[in-house]
Amino acid sequence: MDQSSFKGFYKKSIDERLDILQAATGLSDEEITILKNTGGLTPDQADRMIENVVGAMPVTMGIATNFVINGTDKLVPMAIEEPSVVAAASNAARMSKSAGGFRTRTTDPIMIGQIQLTGMDDPEAAKAAIEENKASLLEMGNAKDPMLVKLGGGARDIEVRIIDTIKGKMVISHLLVNCLDAMGANAVNTMAEAIAPEIEKLTGGKVYLRILSNLAIYRLAFAEATWTKEVLGGENIVDGVIEAYAFAEADPFRCATHNKGIMNGIDAVILATGNDFRAIEAGAHAYASWKHGGYKPLTSYEKNENGDLVGRIEIPMAVGLIGGATAVHPTAKIAVKILDIKSASELAQVVAAVGLAQNFAAMRALATEGIQRGHMGLHARNIAVMAGADGDMIDKVVSVLVAEKNVRIDRAKEVLEELNK
Ligand code: MEV
């Protein structure tokens, strides 16, 4: 395709970009109208969010109900395209209520900024030089963010490691920064860049990378809940969930899917609140490997003395309430209002609870009737709509497909045709 008409695309208005895009791709007027729907954003807001904006990709947002977190009722907005997730989370939360719901907490919001030092003759001496000058380096970092410091955050410590690489030894400094209610990438990256020249001066080495690590081992969220054997429908179901957990604990193939199910819930809240779900994903899976020296589940389960199921989650949770899309995206702002939270720590706790609930729901379904029965109805709805059903006809087609256990588009079209006759 000749892309010459896209020259200076970034300087154009959204309407001008859409004209260029339509001419280049042959999109219909209807399709252009769909792109113009920028969800909760005004076109101006959309145009400031990223570059070369032509539209938005609205994701459905649902409300998970029944969550009780540290004794407080919470409604949880979840933005996700996958059916069943919101229903499963709400159901898991409902089942946890008789034992008090979710108990949650976080560590301090400490993020790590990495500074990569190379080319030293004596890595040990370089490490020592950095450690000896910690106080002045921290001061230098904090000078870059007086507001964060004033509010009680800021650079707290520097940890220095020597690592072996294919290019020889490197001295990696970890600048630990309390980011308070910010996700912290900006603050941490600015500080890391600010102290890097001083690290070079102190050591005679050369700094390359100065960037936040998403493996946020010091910024953790924890949640725990109990599902009684009565609510679960018997101790055999408690055992089934523990068998499922043992499978994930022993097998990375299963563990990837186990953790994916956790992230179904987590990413949905992260996205609804305008947070960075890639950062959370990266941190979660890296932590799942780092913590135990091999890829493991982010949740764990055991049976308590009553024979009830106790589930726990421990996960890095680098979320913010100030800055980024959370502060500007109107839908994200509404999501935060619905959550009724005032701090990033509170948000992290809700997210952890939802991750645990989501995982429990999947484990319970998988260990009993299987996942397909619950999925089938929702999947059948999508198939019925794809086959052309609307209004009352959707439910009629769905009931036939589900009864026949044959949720396929060709069958849906046939059923629709028969019903229309
Ligand atoms: C599907 O999105 C998520 C599950 O596969 C998670 C799991 O298997 O634990 C159901």
- Interval 322-354: pLDDT, tens: 988 998 999 999 999 999 999 999 999 999 999
Active-site entry in 15, 16, 73, 82: 82
Question: What CA–CA distance (Å, rounded) separates 385 from 81?
Answer: 15
Instruction: Judge whether residue 60 has pLDDT over 90.
Output: yes
All structural domains of the chain, each given as residue ranges with its CATH number in brackets, are 3-107+220-368 (3.90.770.10), 110-213 (3.30.70.420), 373-420 (1.10.8)
Instruction: Judge whether residue 270 has pLDDT over 80.
Output: yes
Extract the tokens encoding 286: 């890296």
Is 379 among the residues known to form the active site? no
Probe target for ligand 1 pocket from 84, 254, 260, with the most ligand atoms within 8 Å of CB: 260
* pLDDT of amino acid 343: 97
Atom of ligand 1 nearest to the CA of 371: 10
Q: Categorize the per-residue pLDDT at 268 as very low, low, confident or very high, splitting at 50, 70 and 90.
A: very high
Residues with CB under 6 A from ligand 1: 82, 257-258, 260-261, 264, 362, 366, 371
Residues contacting 228, CB < 8 A, separation 6+: 98, 99, 306, 308, 309
* pLDDT of amino acid 378: 78
Instruction: Judge whether residue 374 has pLDDT over 80.
Output: no
Active-site entry in 375, 379, 396, 413: 375
Probe target for ligand 1 pocket from 360, 366, 369, with the most ligand atoms within 8 Å of CB: 366
pTM, to two decimals: 0.92
User: Mean per-residue pLDDT for 371-398?
Assistant: 86
Instruction: Judge whether residue 39 has pLDDT over 90.
Output: no
Active-site entry in 181, 224, 267, 276: 276
Where are the extended beta strands (E) located within 166-261?
Answer: 168-178, 206-213, 220-227
| Burial environment of residue 328 by CB neighbours within 10 A (0 to 12, 13 to 18, 19 or more) | middle
Is 285 among the residues known to form the active site? no
Percent of the chain residues topping a pLDDT of 90: 92
Instruction: Judge whether residue 239 has pLDDT over 80.
Output: yes
Ligand 1 center to 267 CA (angstroms): 14
* pLDDT of amino acid 369: 77
Is 144 among the residues known to form the active site? no
Instruction: Judge whether residue 293 has pLDDT over 80.
Output: yes
CA angle at residue 156 from 150 to 158, to 5 degrees?
A: 145
Would you state the torsion angle of the CA atoms of residues 138, 143, 144, 148, taken in this order, to the nearest 10 degrees? 90
Stretch among 102-111, 247-256, 348-357, 400-409 having the lowest mean pLDDT: 400-409
* Average pLDDT score over the chain: 96
